[in-house]
Amino acid sequence: MDDVQKVLRRHQYIAKASTAFMYGIMVSIAMNFFWTPGNIYSSGFTGLAQLINTLSSRYLPFTISASWGLLLFNIPLLVLAWKQIGHQFALFTLLTVFLASFMIKALHPVYLTHDPMICAIFGGVVNGFGTGLSLKNEISTGGLDILGIVIRRKTGKSIGNINIMFNVFIVSAAGFAYGWPFAFYSAIGIVVNAKAIDFAYTRQQRMQVLIVTNRPKRVVDSIQNHMRRGVTIIHGAEGAYRHDVKTILFTTISRYEMAELEEAIDESDPKAFASVTEADTILGHFYEHKLK
């Protein structure tokens, strides 16, 4: 059993390291192929690193590159992640940030187009997909991600307002640096980036599930064997077509767990009817896998 766990753990480490490498490539493509040629600022600490690069090149005798800025700004938050979240999480975040910084520096800009709209959209798509892929594999890209996890653990609240204020600052900086049309293009890129993250990272999306079955115990046992989710049981329901007795099951899962839910239902009752809808708001305790 220990040998199996070691193999699984090694596989997880390799998957996370590979994802960190993929993110490094994708953020460097977004930066050097789209954002830099189009004078577009990204969101979060990447956008802050771009801003410092612009200001230092204009007003200082030396230039702080975006790659160095990204690495330096993340150091205090990596210390925070080490102390408050977990050593493994902090180490993989350090690897991700280092690879991103290295790739941004190593991959020289390729000016495919200077059209700011194209650069904003495609830069946002590429970076957002890379970020979502990282989050899906339980590694962070640094910056506000770390702050968000720590604050949510301590207070139970998100940092949505902080994120918005930070990105408003970045967009405003783009306006002062390159002109206000580029501020609006940067805002479009940030929105596209967020949508691409949601597309790739499904763990935070909540789904409400209704299951109608004749075999409630088997279905409940199967669901709870596949995932850590509670199930509410309503007995005595009646089918309108044949007037046979049914049982209705309610549960809430993340979109990330959809494949496991389908497998659990197929194993326990292939004839069960299931309806899945997106849940906008969840009140009360919803189990989330803890990062290490």
Is the domain spanning 206-278 CATH 3.30.70.120? The answer is yes
Residue whose structure tokens are 């990272």: 201
Residue whose structure tokens are 């050097």: 32
Query: Residue ranges per domain, the chain?
Result: 2-200, 206-278
Taking the CA atoms of the chain, what radius of gyration do you get in angstroms?
23
Model confidence at 160, pLDDT cuts 50, 70, 90, reads: low
Mean pLDDT of 21-42: 94
Please list, residue by residue across 75-114, b when 16 or more beta carbons sit within 10 angstroms of its beta carbon and e when fewer do.
eebbeebbeebbebbbbbbbbbbbbbbebbbebeeeeeee
Residue 198 or residue 73, greater confidence: 73
By CB neighbour count within 10 A (0-12 exposed, 13-18 middle, 19+ buried), where does 121 fall?
buried
Q: 0.85 exceeded by the pTM?
A: no
pLDDT tens across 194-238, in order? 888 878 776 667 889 999 999 999 999 999 998 888 899 999 888
C-alpha distance from residue 145 to each of 12, 110, 139, 148, 236 (Å): 21, 29, 10, 5, 46
Q: Please give the Cα distance from 83 to 142 (Å, whole number).
A: 15
